[in-house]
Amino acid sequence: MEMRMSEDTEMGLDLTPPLPPLASSLHDSHLRSHCSACFSPLPPTVLVNTNPSSSFLCYCSPPCSASDSPLHFSSAEHHLFLLLRHSHPSTAHSSDLRAALRLLHILHLPPLHTQPLHRICGLLTNLHHLISPSHNSESDETLTRIRDGGKAMAIARCMRDGTEFSGDSKLEEALLCLVLTNAVEVQVNGGSALGIAVYDWCFSWINHSCSPNACYRFLLRSPETPQFSGESRLQIIPGGNDEIEIQNAVRSKSESIEGCNVHGPRIIVRSIKAIKKGEEVWVAYIDLLQPKEIRHAELWVKYRFSCCCNRCNASPPTYVDLVLQETLAHSLNHIDDNMCREEEIRKLTDYVDDAIADYLSVGNPEACCGKLENVLAQGLPDEQLEPIEGKSRANFKLHPLHHLSLAAYTTLASAYRVHASQLLDLHSEMDGDELEALSLIKTSAAYSLLLAGATHHIFLSDSSLIASIANFWMSAGESLLSLARSSLWNSFVKGRLPFINLSSLQSHKCYECSLADEFEANFFGSQAHNGGLENISKQFLNCVSSITPKVWSFLIKGHHLCKKFKDPIDSNWLQKMETSKIWDFQAHSGCTAMDSSSWDEESTGGYEAQRDTNQERKNLFKLGIHCLLYGGFLSSICYGPSSYLTRYIRNLVDGEESLTGNSSHEMD
Ligand SMILES: [Zn+2]
Ligand SMILES: [Zn+2]
Ligand SMILES: [Zn+2]
């Protein structure tokens, strides 16, 4: 099945009203912190008043409790909790089982033998794909999960009815497969997934593409939230060959299923490209900044289908897919040896993944930065390259746009920031440490800017990456802004820094572009005048390409790896990659160590140094504001002008955490 446009549409418009879920369930980890009906965070008083032994779920308000708790008991969700508490007390991930039980209860399905289990309520169950045994262990895990889960659901239903379990759990398995195939993770305000929800065919029939033209967002609507006006009509209609299925679906829509979760998290589909009437609408089910092989593996594991979208079928592969797995051979002797290449890529992948996983679990940012920067600069370390049969091995390096490089920049930006705050926490009284911390924060900002610039280059050839790119620009902006406003600059010029006001947009408004006006118009809800993506992007790139050269050499001073990037915004150097020696990196011992000695010379330079320092900060601030507003502009295309991101950016722009204290009196 598929969904198509019923009329022509522009980019950045809602294609559906907020659609309520058929069923939703919080992940186990959020059961005590969020309302099980509407998914809103619970007020602290609710937590206190909830007796954990009497109920497994919490509600924010009487209406949520009144609408949801009957279903909790009648669907046997309650009994499932009792059952799981005895069998797997600590490792319960029961949200999919609970959503399946709830669905099973509200659907009032006819007896099994009168209907095929291929589709239930118009939704694909993928039953035959998911439970057919296969040769790889991944599928066996899924099979076990479905068999065990179906059985637990069936037993819980028997407990509810006071009957004996007959051993048959086919129907429960089918419902669980339906949930695994159709449920989406509910994420709001950029946080982690709160739970899952299953929507009717209006959303569930929208197919995946690796180059989608639409995206979706969630809207929480607790009973207190007023309905807002201006909701869109449904502009997508079912397509495909199965007329009967379509008629059934449309009929079920008008009847509206009894008991569906009226307070549950709603979903809104929105266009990220202009779409013509009759064209199919696609969303992405996975992260799109991954090469084809990884996307396919993920789609297969999660949804059991092989993607044949335009991007996947392109021959030759699209530019984006080429660069995401581009490598550079250090020694060309073995370049034809595909076996060798694959083996090397596998090792590189393991090495980068391990370094990132180590950092996330152990939290040693310094060690992680060292490893990642070495592998980016030189490929695998020597000890990983034992020769085969006496032949020395080709050493492959990652292209700066390789998906592992992108993952590495993301981690480096975070790790340098964490390292800085660890340093300040430990010995905040020492001057030298403050200098080094500032240096680390600079490097963190450099990596976020590099990441945004690099992925923007990819975005230029595939605009469906817009949501990821919006995020990268916003993080770069946030990072640059907090660097510009850091109080650590005082240690740089021995506490005599003249005051500059970096707390509001107005004092440093850019007259070269209309980003700020665009943002204000968005923020105050006047109809987004949509300067047009192309127009705004052009203005933005003009501004940042003139500011970046003023700050880049300063940002990367003393940092040997970053120096290899001539300019993070101008991607001309990328095109020369294959042939030139730009990337040829001479091993520096300790390339992560900050060269803070060069700072001391400058910091003794008196008034001029202070003035220069403030000029750098103004430029960093200006660049940061541009990145932030542009990221906000892109995100308003994906999530609408009134999303939490707009407020978040507003707060960052008007940040109060700018210079305070002594420094402000130095000016006169
Ligand atoms: Zn609620
Ligand atoms: Zn695809
Ligand atoms: Zn500008």
Over the chain (668 residues), the average pLDDT of each successive run of 10 is 91 91 92 91 67 72 89 91 74 84 83 63 71 63 86 93 90 89 89 91 92 94 66 84 74 57 88 94 94 92 87 92 82 57 85 91 87 87 61 73 93 92 74 82 93 92 93 94 84 64 71 84 62 86 91 83 79 54 35 40 54 83 93 90 83 60 32
For residue 461, the CA-to-ligand 3 centroid distance in Å is: 23
| Predicted pLDDT at 526 | 56
Which pair of structure tokens corresponds to residue 82? Answer: 């009792």
Q: Exposed e or buried b for every residue in 351-361, given b needs 16+ CB within 10 A?
A: bbeebbeebee
For residue 513, the CA-to-ligand 3 centroid distance in Å is: 4
For residue 626, the CA-to-ligand 3 centroid distance in Å is: 6
For residue 129, the CA-to-ligand 2 centroid distance in Å is: 19
For residue 512, the CA-to-ligand 3 centroid distance in Å is: 5
| Residue 624 DSSP class | H
For residue 392, the CA-to-ligand 1 centroid distance in Å is: 64
| Predicted pLDDT at 663 | 34
SS (H, E, C) 45-93: HHHHHCCCCCCCCCCCCHHHHHHHHHHHHHCCHHHHHHHHHHHCCCCCC
For residue 490, the CA-to-ligand 1 centroid distance in Å is: 48
Which pair of structure tokens corresponds to residue 13? Answer: 């418009």
For residue 135, the CA-to-ligand 1 centroid distance in Å is: 44
For residue 542, the CA-to-ligand 3 centroid distance in Å is: 8
Residues, the chain: 668
Q: Is residue 352 within 8 Å of residue 404, measured between CB atoms?
A: yes
| Predicted pLDDT at 667 | 32
Which pair of structure tokens corresponds to residue 571? Answer: 């991607």
Query: Which numbered ligand comes closest to the C-alpha of 538?
Result: 3
Query: Which numbered ligand comes closest to the C-alpha of 300?
Result: 2
For residue 261, the CA-to-ligand 1 centroid distance in Å is: 11
Query: Which numbered ligand comes closest to the C-alpha of 296?
Result: 2
For 154-161, the CB contacts below 8 A with 24+ separation are 155/83, 156/76, 156/77, 156/79, 156/80, 156/82, 156/83, 156/101, 157/76, 157/79, 157/101, 159/76, 159/79, 159/82, 159/83, 160/73, 160/74, 160/76, 160/78, 160/79
CA angle 229, 231, 235 (to 5 degrees): 160
Query: Which numbered ligand comes closest to the C-alpha of 282?
Result: 2
Which residues lie near ion ligand 2 (Cβ < 5 Å)? 210, 307, 309, 312
Cα separation of 286 and 9, whole Å? 24
For residue 59, the CA-to-ligand 3 centroid distance in Å is: 47
For residue 646, the CA-to-ligand 1 centroid distance in Å is: 25
Backbone phi and psi for residue 492, each to the nearest 5 degrees, phi listed first: -70, -40
Query: Which numbered ligand comes closest to the C-alpha of 307?
Result: 2
Query: Which numbered ligand comes closest to the C-alpha of 320?
Result: 2
Query: Which numbered ligand comes closest to the C-alpha of 208?
Result: 2
For residue 443, the CA-to-ligand 1 centroid distance in Å is: 43
Query: Which numbered ligand comes closest to the C-alpha of 303?
Result: 2
For residue 611, the CA-to-ligand 3 centroid distance in Å is: 23
Amino acid found at 427:
H
For residue 632, the CA-to-ligand 3 centroid distance in Å is: 14
For residue 638, the CA-to-ligand 2 centroid distance in Å is: 20
For residue 531, the CA-to-ligand 2 centroid distance in Å is: 31
Query: Which numbered ligand comes closest to the C-alpha of 285?
Result: 2
For residue 409, the CA-to-ligand 3 centroid distance in Å is: 26
Cα separation of 536 and 630, whole Å? 8
Query: Which numbered ligand comes closest to the C-alpha of 321?
Result: 2
Query: Which numbered ligand comes closest to the C-alpha of 623?
Result: 3
For residue 582, the CA-to-ligand 2 centroid distance in Å is: 33
Block residue for tokens 């897919």: 321
Backbone phi and psi for residue 33, each to the nearest 5 degrees, phi listed first: -110, -15
How far from 505 is each of 274, 336, 482, 523, CA to CA, in Å?
32, 55, 14, 14
Query: Which numbered ligand comes closest to the C-alpha of 545?
Result: 3
For residue 89, the CA-to-ligand 3 centroid distance in Å is: 56
The closest of 277, 121, 271, 146 to 205, measured between CA atoms, is 121
Helix/strand/coil for 550: helix
For residue 210, the CA-to-ligand 2 centroid distance in Å is: 4
**Residues contacting 93, CB < 8 A, separation 6+:** 27, 28
**Residues contacting 609, CB < 8 A, separation 6+:** 493, 602, 603
For residue 303, the CA-to-ligand 2 centroid distance in Å is: 13
Query: Which numbered ligand comes closest to the C-alpha of 630?
Result: 3
Query: Which numbered ligand comes closest to the C-alpha of 318?
Result: 2
For residue 127, the CA-to-ligand 2 centroid distance in Å is: 22
Query: Which numbered ligand comes closest to the C-alpha of 310?
Result: 2
For residue 299, the CA-to-ligand 2 centroid distance in Å is: 9
Query: Which numbered ligand comes closest to the C-alpha of 299?
Result: 2
Which pair of structure tokens corresponds to residue 89? Answer: 């007390």
Query: Which numbered ligand comes closest to the C-alpha of 625?
Result: 3
Cα separation of 17 and 231, whole Å? 6
The closest of 401, 445, 452 to 573, measured between CA atoms, is 401
CA angle 223, 224, 228 (to 5 degrees): 95
